[in-house]
Chain A
């Protein structure tokens, strides 16, 4: 079964310890990413999307740690339990950049200002390939050209401050793709960019996915982006995945009240300005004082006593799963 999987996360818990208080930022998350497919992860700010991504790359800050669960990477030479590797040890370093690469939210700060873009891309090649310096230079130029950057020979010798935001993000993607990783983690790659550039970046990612069979984990809070790009989607709320499935499952037949509220809160193009956009009432709870049961219960219109215990995950089909005590009743009423 595992041979079409690229990465699998099981019951992952990552906690932060600050001032002797514990923030269960990721509290039991499971998902698989398949080769050549895109898994979208959506959720409000602070729900643990970035922490999940950092956990997979072992890029967590010092005051946090993997509490439980597993992260398994299916390499060509067998399974690797990433959660059991030493944080910055040689095995982990061999995976970073070469097997699993990451693109960050803000291209303005993610590149080192004192080195040329070409140098920073070349650095990855130096540590993960046997290419000689001349071959590396040629490969950098080829990568920049692939990303649609004009005059790549000249651009490679320029510094990040000579690049526009969109071009920096392309350079970041070039860097991430330089060693043909099997998994690409994109943490809100276009949040800092305008809409036309956003479309170009997504076209680029789709092209890479089909050409290189890269598995993509796409983090976003934009349901529209999910509908466009993802094959599967996981909806996160306060450190849990509340609903997951194929894009059809989740967007067409949403089961969890949170997923529905999320879908109701986005305007639909063409429906005019009188459309009924509902914002979700209340605010996300204090991450240090989380509700005991269903995390969404305090804001949920359908919450009852049954919601005071953490709901089990139930499968509606092979692909579609939901964690809600009352989804059956609510669904009938709707």
Chain B
């Protein structure tokens, strides 16, 4: 198991380096360099080219591309992500400030879609052909085909504005930060963010469950005189779980991408809404670093999914 994890980590590292390289290349291709951003446009004319060259020299900007890339990479590995253009705040500070909100939202959405998606999928499979099954199938189709921001706006309209049950946006009010103060805020954005994934997980776990229930070991289990719940869950669902976990892993990037949209629809103060602000303000270093961090998050998530798959399927462990 340990060698499996190590090997999997070793594959991840070159991928990370390659992606960092692309991000750095992107930064290089954006107009201007650090020096041009450091200078106030109003005084730009009073600075001589020699002074500019000196500043570039001091910042190491005249070194070769690869030299600069390695220095940059070395800094990134140490957590030094550079500075934002607007206000010159360290990017790591901004991200650390915004990350908890995003993690809170994504983990809520992940848990919701896994638990609700699997339960509905299993119910659908067990009641195959019944009205419940047909209704769930239709809902699932709608869920995967309607964009999330649309659900978001409709949800705000109905549950926040018309019914007034839940707040329309934000994460917490100053002074109100107990768990129960926060819960109402996360319900709308969390559920809306997870809808597409929930529908996907539901459809997939339904078919995985049907497949597993048609296998011969189910008949063996029944021939042993086991109760139905045990046959369906301990034997049927347990085997259907492996492909479902793999699917959840594949879909994680959509969750991370979706959070950008949902965070801005619900004014959720996370990394996603920061990204939108950064794009609006042409803050390239911040945009690129957030992109790099999301790639990192996706890779980390897929690593965790692989380890989980190996843990739940004894046949994978050898490979």
Contact = CB atoms under 8 A, between A and B. Distances in A.
Interface of A: 57, 59, 88, 92-98, 101-102, 104, 106, 109-115, 123-124, 127-128, 159, 161, 172, 175
Contact of B225 (A110, A111, A112, A124): A124
A90 to B, nearest CB: 8
19 contacts: A57-B223, A88-B222, A88-B228, A93-B225, A94-B225, A95-B225, A97-B223, A97-B226, A101-B224, A104-B223, A109-B217, A113-B239, A114-B238, A123-B221, A123-B226, A127-B227, A159-B314, A161-B315, A175-B220
B315 A110 contact: no
Contact of B312 (A88, A106, A114, A124): A114
Interface of B: 215-217, 219-228, 235, 238-239, 242, 312-315
A110 B217 contact: yes
B217 A124 contact: no
Given A96-B224, A110-B220, 17 more contacts: A59-B222, A88-B228, A97-B223, A97-B226, A102-B223, A104-B219, A104-B220, A112-B217, A112-B220, A112-B235, A113-B239, A114-B313, A124-B224, A128-B225, A159-B314, A159-B315, A172-B220
Nearest to A90: B227
A114 B239 contact: yes
A104 B220 CA distance: 8
Instruction: Describe B's contact surface by its main secondary structure.
Output: helix
B217 A111 contact: yes
A111 B224 CA distance: 12
Contacts of A113: 217, 239, 314-315
A94 B227 CA distance: 10
A109 B217 CA distance: 6
Contacts of A101: 223-224
A127 B314 contact: no
Nearest to B313: A114
Closest A-B pairs by Cβ, 9 of them = A96-B225, A97-B225, A97-B224, A112-B217, A109-B216, A93-B225, A159-B314, A102-B223, A124-B224
Nearest to A112: B217
A92 B313 CA distance: 32
